[in-house]
Amino acid sequence: MIGFGDYLQLLPKTELHCHFTSTMSAGQFIQLADRYGVKLATTDPEKLFDFEDLSDFLTAFRAAHDVLKAPEDLAEVAYAGVRLAVASGALRYREYYLNPQYFHDRGLSYRQLLEPVLEGLRSAEADLGVGFRIVIAINRHDTPSSALELVEQIIAHPYDEVVGLGMDDLTPEGTEDPLRFTRAYARAKQVGLRLTAHVGETDGASAINVRDAIDELHCDRIDHGYRVLDDPELTRRARDSGIPFTTTPFSTTICSGWTLGPEHRIARMIREGLAVTVSTDDAMFFRTDVGREYREALPLLGVDAEGAKRIALAGIDAAFCDDDTKATLRRQFAAEILTLDSLLTT
């Protein structure tokens, strides 16, 4: 028999909001920084990821790309990240946000980045059975023309596993401003890419950004999206349409300073009936993993076993993979959940 915490830990999971660079372990990050002469504020993993706010985190996130220089490093980080997530949180499928613009500034072309990452993830899928897809993310710190060029790179170099376009980081002015990248999104939609965007993330964001992502960019799902609750009509529309939200509980405690509890925005989104999924966002930086997001965050948000199962299964519905992959995941989840339900002590 198992308790509720173990039940949540062992519940099969998807992860749809995961930035590739953040799948490194702290040990890998420190080792690679030493290898390539990248200066860190400290090599103490207990202090390395102390951030004041979202801006402080984004500065560190951009710098972390400096340690990923060689193809073998990219492939190893890809493989090891899957192995860690399986062990720590029963990961069964994951979608990665990958930012080629960060790496282009460091001398890696689009294909030079994608090939080793895919090598590592394909090997992990063969060995551990964890399926994956990749969402190419626009760096909002760059220009709209650069974003459009990035979409053309996706089109020019197609990979079966690259299925979507997203956006992250902030503009140079420190805003979300999703409509700045309307042309890139229109081009991506034209060629059949799935669409998502980081919007409505912090206290400084707005429900208008969520509305723009849905109505103007025609996103298939929303990353974060917590400010949707500020607009009751938009919340109703989001609930009725079933558009998914990829929430990341522990990141909000750092980037927004919110306390995990029954009045947290994610808890309120769940009560409003929105299609909520749970992910890590940036596991290494926020000292979390997908198991911890379920095991620790969900009880604090007031989620019971039935609610946790709904969130886990919502991750399948919200994924950008094909219908056959979703059907396989549903069968796998159903079997594992049946076993766990029989073991859960009440």
% of the chain surpassing 70 pLDDT: 97
Q: Span 175-203, mean pLDDT?
A: 96
Q: Span 30-41, mean pLDDT?
A: 85
What φ, ψ does residue 121 adopt, rounded to 5°?
-70, -35
Q: Which range of residues forms the domain containing residue 328?
A: 10-343
Residue 196 lies in a domain: yes
Per-residue model confidence (pLDDT) at position 39: 81
Residue 173, domain CATH: 3.20.20.140
Residue 313 lies in a domain: yes
% of the chain surpassing 90 pLDDT: 81
Stated length of the chain: 346
More confident residue, 244 or 63: 244
Confidence of residue 54 (pLDDT cuts 50, 70, 90): low
Q: Which positions ≥6 away from 92 have C-beta within 8 Å?
A: 12, 13, 14, 129, 130, 131, 329, 332, 333
C-alpha to C-alpha distance for 338 and 93, rounded to whole angstroms: 19
Residue 73 lies in a domain: yes
C-alpha to C-alpha distance for 289 and 231, rounded to whole angstroms: 31
Q: Which positions ≥6 away from 111 have C-beta within 8 Å?
A: 157
Residue 4 lies in a domain: no
Residue 35 lies in a domain: yes
C-alpha to C-alpha distance for 31 and 330, rounded to whole angstroms: 39
Q: Span 98-114, mean pLDDT?
A: 91
For 312-334, write each residue's pLDDT tens digit.
999 999 999 999 999 999 999 99
Give the burial class of 160: count Cβ atoms within 10 A of its Cβ; 0-12 exposed, 13-18 middle, 19 or more buried. exposed
Residue 5 lies in a domain: no
Per-residue model confidence (pLDDT) at position 5: 96
Confidence of residue 133 (pLDDT cuts 50, 70, 90): very high
| Domain count of the fold of the chain | 1
- The model's pTM is 0.95
Residue 43 lies in a domain: yes
